[in-house]
Amino acid sequence: MQSLHLRNDTLLEIATFLVRRWSGKESITVSISDQKEVQTKLRENKVVMFPLEKYQGSDFQKYRQFRTALWYEAMRIRYSNKILSNDHAFGFILNTLETRRIETIARTVWQGMDSEIIFRYGVSWLYRPLLNTLYGNTRIVEGFSQYFLLGDIKGELSPSAFEKVQKASKLALEIVKESIEKKYETDWLEKKIPEIIKILEIDPLLTIPISIPKISSGMALSDQEFVKTLNKISKYRESDFGELDPNKISEGKEVFEEFKVLLEEAKRIGNKGLNNEVVGISIPAATNIDETKIIDMDLINHLKAKFKEWKSGWKEEHVFSGDEFDEEAHMEGHKPFLSDRKIAIKTKIVILLDHSSSIASQEIQYKKATFALCEVLEYLKVKFSVYAFNTEQKQVICWLVKPENLKWNNISAKRLVQIKANGSTPLAEVYNMLLPSLRSKKPDIFLTLTDGEPSDPDAVRAIMRDFKSIGVKMVAIGFGPDTGDAIVIANNLRRLGYERTLAVSRLSDIPKRVLNVLGTS
């Protein structure tokens, strides 16, 4: 299995799924970055992970470490109300205690994580620094962290320093135990940290060097020495975890089955995403892109609330006659009766996004509106695909953002972020690229979002007839800087032969206009 590798996009896909499932929060996003430490940003609903290459061991061992680190961050999201920086002693010690607290609470729910927690502690022992390589009081702080979590220290401490570490660890355990018994949260733990700092006799603002896994894939983690390490740690934590078999922990058979499935899924998705599309369609390749800048949760939540009745297929509306009388509506002079109207959504939609240079000044807002639209389409279980076009090095490129046969996810969002606004509006050329694929798939609606006229209007009119001949309804939304310009653009598009055109002057209105196009009686 060492020769097979998880693609970053597949890793992000499973990481996003797991962190949302574990944390219970659907708005959490995950990114992978080569940074100094794993981070959870509570206010941004974001987890930033190491790439697998930062971990030691085989691909499977790296995945186990990545997965368990992700679990801890999900538990922080679920059970912590504050995460301080590890750069200084105060935050480092608080986070160390909080790790033990959330781990203890979470294990009552996720008991299957016990072996993986011990595995991670075993690996941690390998890359934790030797205390005699550290200087000053940072040696005492690191010694406290090692002893408190792992039950031992690496290297040497002076007898007086070791006594401080033991005394501080004992107090820390008592504090964590009390916090769990009385259901205190992070804020309460924070108030107790000065007591530990006082025992250790350190400055709370002492700078702490971050201990991270070193890039050393050659280190064997499953040899006898590693099993001995696991045995040592499992014995220390036996009062918490019970009796565990270090050999079984090292093997990780249950997670290995999951890992094999992921490898197969990565291969399947890779083939599916590429082979099912026509030649000439490009796919943005980078996966280390931050997609969070195009996520507008307020807009997404507003749209989901507005269109939630579409989930059931019925919409309540006021009418002049019916069985249910609405007295308040009658008093206000509105239609006085309530009726349920059956609504449906066209099930196959293709969306084409104009990324010509004219949208460059509002590119982020344009992408935010597109992201929100796709989130709601996925929420409503609509079958849809998304393409975009721009010009690179004088070459027209049609990009695949989301194929019809895969769900909208953070990988699709990362593709969208990468497409830069550049070039003219060669609609006819792009339509010609898409026609062979859409002729076989036959979507109900082909929706084009654009802010200008095409480079060759006559060519667009001609190919429009080809799409109509295969039963595709051609719809366009023209957006402009103000209402007047948007109406002019929409009228010009209508003359090209689109069956329906709409005008939008505010980009945030695009999702609502699209969704209203899709709703049918």
Q: What domains appear along the chain, each with residue ranges and CATH number?
A: 80-251 (no CATH), 292-312+345-520 (3.40.50.410), 315-343 (no CATH)
Task: Give the burial string for 12-32 (b: 16+ CB within 10 Å, else e).
Answer: bbbbbebbbebbeeeebbbbb
Q: Helix, strand or coil for residue 337?
A: strand
The reported pLDDT for the residue numbered 115 is 92
- Asked if 353 contacts 388 with a C-beta cutoff of 8 angstroms, the reply is yes
The reported pLDDT for the residue numbered 4 is 43
The reported pLDDT for the residue numbered 214 is 42
Q: Helix, strand or coil for residue 393?
A: coil
- Asked if 18 contacts 66 with a C-beta cutoff of 8 angstroms, the reply is no
Q: What is the CA radius of gyration of the chain?
A: 28
List the chain pLDDT tens, one digit each, 521 residues: 333 456 666 777 788 888 998 999 888 888 877 777 888 988 888 898 888 878 878 888 889 999 999 999 999 999 999 999 888 999 999 999 999 999 999 998 888 899 999 999 998 888 888 898 888 899 999 999 999 998 999 989 999 999 999 999 999 999 999 999 999 999 999 999 999 999 999 999 998 875 444 434 344 445 778 888 899 898 888 888 888 898 999 888 888 877 877 777 666 555 444 444 444 678 887 666 778 888 888 888 888 877 776 655 555 565 566 656 556 655 666 666 656 555 556 578 999 999 988 888 888 989 999 998 898 888 888 889 999 999 887 788 889 999 887 888 878 888 999 999 988 888 889 998 888 888 878 888 999 998 877 878 888 889 988 998 889 999 988 888 788 888 888 888 888 889 888 888 888 888 888 877 776 54
> For residue 335, what are its two tokens?
């239609």
> For residue 391, what are its two tokens?
């010009």
Alpha-carbon distance of 122 to 229, in angstroms, equals: 6
Distances, alpha carbon 408 to alpha carbons 2, 16, 28, 368, in Å: 30, 12, 15, 14
The reported pLDDT for the residue numbered 57 is 81
The reported pLDDT for the residue numbered 216 is 42
The reported pLDDT for the residue numbered 267 is 61
The reported pLDDT for the residue numbered 146 is 93
- Asked if 88 contacts 204 with a C-beta cutoff of 8 angstroms, the reply is yes
Task: Give the burial string for 457-481 (b: 16+ CB within 10 Å, else e).
Answer: bebbeebbeebeeeebbbbbbbbbe
Angle, to 10 degrees, between the axis of helix 59-79 and the axis of helix 114-127? 110
> For residue 51, what are its two tokens?
């790439």
Q: What is the DSSP letter of 129?
A: P
Please list, in sequence order, all residues whose beta carbon lies within 8 angstroms of the beta carbon of residue 264, skipping any fewer than 6 positions away: none
Q: What is the pTM of this model?
A: 0.57
Alpha-carbon distance of 31 to 46, in angstroms, equals: 8
Alpha-carbon distance of 15 to 352, in angstroms, equals: 29
Q: Measuring CA to CA, which residue among 322, 328, 375 is closest to residue 510?
A: 375
> What own/partner pairs with CB < 8 Å and gap ≥ 24 does 500-506 have?
500/473, 500/475, 500/476, 501/475, 501/476, 501/477, 502/475, 502/476, 502/477, 502/478, 503/477, 503/478, 503/479, 504/477, 504/478, 504/479, 504/480, 505/479, 505/480, 505/481
Alpha-carbon distance of 490 to 505, in angstroms, equals: 11
The reported pLDDT for the residue numbered 279 is 47
The reported pLDDT for the residue numbered 326 is 57
> For residue 127, what are its two tokens?
């890359």
Please list, in sequence order, all residues whose beta carbon lies within 8 angstroms of the beta carbon of residue 88, skipping any fewer than 6 positions away: 204, 205, 206, 207, 208
Handedness of CA 463, 467, 469, 473 (dihedral sign): negative
The backbone torsions φ and ψ at residue 400, rounded to the nearest 5 degrees and listed phi first, read -90, 120
